[in-house]
Amino acid sequence: MIITVANQKGGTGKTTTAYNLAYALSHEGKRVLLVDFDPQGNLTLCFGIEQPDRLKVSMFHIMNAIMSDELLPAPDQYLHSQGNIDLTPSNIELSIIEINLRDEMGGEKTLTTLLEPMKHQYDYIIIDTNPSLGLLTINALAASDSVLIPVNPQLWSATGLTQLLNIIIKVKKRINPRITIEGILMTMCDTRTLLYKEAFRLVQDHYGESIRIFESQIPLSVKVGEANFYSQSIMEFHPKSKVALAYQGLAKELMNHGY
């Protein structure tokens, strides 16, 4: 099962969700591959790799090898492991790949070439994307079975979400007919505020009949930032926190959905 975490808006909790969902699934005994597909490399930093720009092998090198029809690096050169979780890291060099993909025949399937042979090794592959609807995000969607969309009620925009959904529909029609929308995940929620209540109502009104909205909602908490600072999942940093429990609930929802 390959899941892309996507939203072209920044600040919606994509990286935090990818990282903590992976840990929640691993706590359920699942084997997970995390793919950092964002040139900012935030997921790589969360994983404890302190200087991503000094990596000898990253997503840049892997994608470049595929596009050049060269042999891929050996997996032990680019897979970093923590328990049941592996990571393919990224850094700013990946932004060069996005430029080169424009001239690549069949370039939208480049990531698929890497991940398809790896699917049998993992229960879940989770792709963290950059905040755009460019060629990297399209590559991720082309490789995926489903899309998980985090929405921050403080940054809610029906127009922005509609643009993402339109891209997913085009990818489904033209590149990857198996892709579905996993659901909308509300993140950074302060359920006491009128802003949250209004944003959640709008999400339900706009999309509730056609797209699943996860029952699990991720609370707003400074503990998340602290956990990221120490390169720990929230389950490791504060296992009894509401955020940790919410991500555990999200993992169970995914598994109960038949995956």
pTM comes to: 0.94
Question: Under a CB-based contact definition with an 8 Å cutoff, are residues 190 and 221 in contact?
Answer: no
Predicted confidence at residue 259, as pLDDT, reads: 55
Q: pLDDT tens digit string along 239-256?
A: 889 999 999 999 999 998
pLDDT of 160: 77
Tokens of 61: 């090198």
Task: Give the CATH number of the domain where residue 76 resides.
Answer: 3.40.50.300
* Model confidence at 3: pLDDT above 60: yes
| pLDDT value for 155 | 76
The pLDDT > 90 percentage for the chain reads 72
| Host domain of residue 59 | 2-256
Q: Dihedral through CA 128, CA 38, CA 7, CA 131, nearest 10?
A: 160
Among the listed residues 156, 150, 188, the one whose alpha carbon sits nearest the alpha carbon of residue 7: 150
For Cα atoms 18, 196, 206, give the angle at the middle one, nearest 5 degrees: 80
Number of CB atoms found within 10 A of residue 222's CB: 8
pLDDT of residue 157: 67
Tell me how many domains the chain contains.
Answer: 1
